[in-house]
């Protein structure tokens, strides 16, 4: 059964089940697939849920739980993916995927599917008008529903938020609104506060309802074909004849991505920080569309900034260096915005995706992240009980430019 048919069967089943789910906040998510075991050492079990969040076919969010059975008291983490990304598991190797690595090492990790995951890639722009209302605040409200469900399901008081790229911005926004439910923030190459010098990274406002992961030269279909070729045979012929292999073709595309600075900003395989085959497996799992409105919203409101500063939440942040000269400083500024002294690790020569799934990520990102989670877990367990989740503030966010893959 193809993935798209399976997805829509899942949605249909969720609609039927959701009609009988009742009004409780933790009843809106329904299990939609049998649990499956990932053959890691020790093994990890993946379980998935879906929730209806509105009246259209696209208004769905999903959750995926990764957990082993050996440490039921491990850190509880909600992972928030970047732009065009989702909570599906693209890799079965914990050396190259942080949520899986953490789960193998005793954490309970939940990953979120944004509403964008439920838009079929063949959908024309003319049918995406509702994305005009898919603001950052709306996505933060979806995160709130997910947090409520997770805390109810696990009988925990708080959880850690981990965010990659734009997911980091969402993590800060949610923490600003609901610090009582957050134990700490694990930030992977993202930020929420925008220095004036970062404005040039946004580009001109789009008239389209959604940004497309495919660009003018590397269209969605060509992008897909390139990634499939790399996965099929990295050493096979390249779609573009001037490259020797498909892997070299992809390496050059990600290294030269203009949206990420054009010098290894998206990924730096030529520096040895990433592997084309791993990148292909991650990039092919991206969702095609993202609401354009989120690229032009304002960042934290003064009220949210004050709330975040008063939270005193601990932060561990990782920053790549290749996107822009001041990128590490922007990551650092946001990490300090919780009012606590953050730990910021700058990864010289690294690209954006190298932080998430690079060749050195296990040693320099995953292992420090695990140690940090274990360090703060005791404090989280002794924290006072969280209050009821409140409706999301209308405040919107303007996250940093994030993982749009090989689009530009």
pLDDT in tens, 125-156: 999 999 999 999 999 999 999 999 999 999 99
CA nearest to 7, candidates 218, 288, 220, 228: 288
Question: For 192-226, how does the pLDDT look when each residue is reduced to its tens digit (9 = 90+)?
Answer: 965 443 443 444 445 789 999 998 889 999 999 99
- Residues 214, 302: one domain? no
Q: Does residue 342 lie within any of the structural domains?
A: yes
Q: Any bridge partners for residue 77, and if so which? A: 109, 160
Question: Looking at the domain assignment, is residue 253 inside a domain?
Answer: yes
Asked whether residue 247 is domain-assigned, the answer is: yes
Query: What distance in Å separates the CA atoms of residue 151 and residue 176, rounded to the nearest whole number?
Result: 18
Question: Is residue 403 a part of any domain in this protein?
Answer: no
Q: What is the pLDDT of residue 379?
A: 64
* Residue 404 predicted with pLDDT over 60: no
pTM for this prediction: 0.87
48 and 148 in a common domain:
yes
Is residue 106 situated within a structural domain? yes
pLDDT of residue 392: 36
Across residues 170-178, what is the average pLDDT? Answer: 97
Classify residue 398: in a domain, yes or no: no
CATH number at residue 21: 3.40.50.1820
pLDDT at 59 over 60: yes
269 part of a folded domain:
yes
The 10s digit of each residue's pLDDT in 85-129 is: 999 999 999 999 999 999 999 999 999 999 999 999 999 999 999
Percent of the residues in the chain that have a pLDDT greater than 70, as a whole number: 81
| pLDDT per residue as tens digits for the range 292-324 | 999 888 778 899 999 999 999 999 999 999 999
pLDDT for residue 69 is more than 90: no
Q: Give CA separation, 357 vs 4, 82, 109, 224, 270, in Å.
A: 25, 13, 17, 19, 15
Mark whether 296 and 258 lie in a shared domain.
no
Are 258 and 150 members of one domain?
no
Q: What confidence score (pLDDT) does residue 193 get? A: 65
Looking at the fold, whether 98 and 21 belong to one and the same domain comes out as yes
Last residue of a domain, one of 273, 289, 305: 289
Same domain, 65 and 23: yes
Q: Given this model, what pLDDT does residue 208 score?
A: 86
C-alpha 30/C-alpha 24 separation (Å) is 12
pLDDT at position 71, please? Answer: 63
- Chain centroid to Cα 218, Å, comes to 23
Q: How confident is the model at residue 72 (pLDDT cuts 50, 70, 90)?
A: low
Examine the fold and report which residue of 289, 306, 337 is the final residue of a domain before the chain moves on: 289
- Domain shared by 224 and 84, yes or no: no
Domain that holds residue 231: 210-289
- pLDDT at position 395 is 35
| HSE-up of residue 295 (Cα within 13 Å, Cβ side) | 25
Do residue 277 and residue 299 come from a single domain? no
* The predicted structure's pLDDT at residue 184: 97
Domain stop point among 269, 289, 309: 289
Q: Examine the domain organization and report whether 137 and 232 are in the same domain.
A: no
Q: Give how many domains the chain has, as a whole number.
A: 2
- Report, as an integer, the average pLDDT of 28-55: 94
Is 248 in the same domain as 321?
no
* Mean pLDDT over each residue of the chain, to the nearest integer: 86
pLDDT-derived band at 15 (thresholds 50, 70, 90) equals: very low
Please indicate, yes or no, whether residues 280 and 298 belong to a single structural domain of this protein.
no
Q: Does the residue 392 lie in any domain?
A: no
As a whole number, mean pLDDT of residues 333-357 equals 97
- Do 225 and 342 lie in one domain? The reply is no
Confidence (pLDDT) at 33: 84
């Amino acid at each position: 059964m193809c993935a798209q048919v399976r997805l829509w069967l899942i949605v249909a089943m969720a609609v039927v089940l959701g009609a009988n789910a009742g009004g409780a906040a933790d009843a809106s998510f329904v299990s939609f697939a049998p649990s499956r075991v990932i053959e890691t050492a020790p093994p990890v079990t993946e379980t998935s849920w879906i929730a209806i969040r509105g009246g259209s076919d696209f208004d769905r969010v999903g959750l995926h739980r990764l957990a082993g059975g050996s440490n039921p008291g491990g850190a509880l983490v909600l992972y928030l993916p970047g732009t065009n990304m989702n909570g599906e598991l693209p890799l079965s190797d914990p050396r190259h995927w942080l949520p899986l690595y953490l789960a193998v090492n005793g954490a309970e990790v939940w990953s979120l599917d944004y509403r964008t995951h439920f838009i079929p890639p063949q959908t024309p722009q003319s049918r995406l008008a509702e994305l005009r209302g898919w603001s950052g605040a709306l996505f933060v409200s979806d995160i709130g529903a997910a947090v409520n469900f997770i805390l109810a399901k696990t009988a925990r008081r708080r959880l850690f938020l981990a965010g990659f790229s734009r997911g980091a911005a969402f993590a800060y926004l949610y923490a600003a609104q609901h610090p009582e439910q957050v134990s700490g923030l694990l930030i992977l190459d993202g930020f929420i506060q925008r220095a004036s010098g970062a404005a040039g990274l946004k580009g001109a406002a789009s008239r389209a309802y959604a940004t497309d992961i495919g660009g003018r030269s590397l269209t969605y279909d060509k992008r897909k074909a390139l990634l499939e070729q790399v996965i099929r045979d990295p050493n096979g012929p390249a779609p573009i004849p001037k490259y020797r292999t498909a892997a070299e073709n992809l390496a050059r595309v990600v290294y030269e991505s203009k949206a990420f600075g054009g010098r290894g900003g998206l990924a730096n395989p030529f520096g040895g920080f990433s592997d084309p085959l791993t990148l292909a497996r991650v990039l092919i799992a991206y969702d095609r569309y993202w609401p354009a409105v989120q690229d032009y919203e304002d960042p934290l409101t003064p009220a949210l900034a004050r709330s975040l500063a008063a939270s005193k939440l601990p932060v561990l942040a990782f920053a790549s260096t290749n996107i822009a000269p001041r990128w590490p400083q922007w990551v650092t500024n946001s990490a300090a915005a919780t009012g606590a002294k953050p730990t910021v690790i700058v990864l010289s020569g690294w690209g954006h995706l190298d932080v998430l799934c690079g060749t050195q990520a296990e040693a320099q990102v995953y292992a420090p992240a695990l140690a940090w989670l274990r360090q703060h877990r005791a404090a989280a367990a002794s924290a006072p009980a969280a209050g009821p989740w409140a409706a999301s503030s209308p405040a919107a966010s303007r996250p940093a430019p994030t993982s749009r893959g090989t689009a530009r």
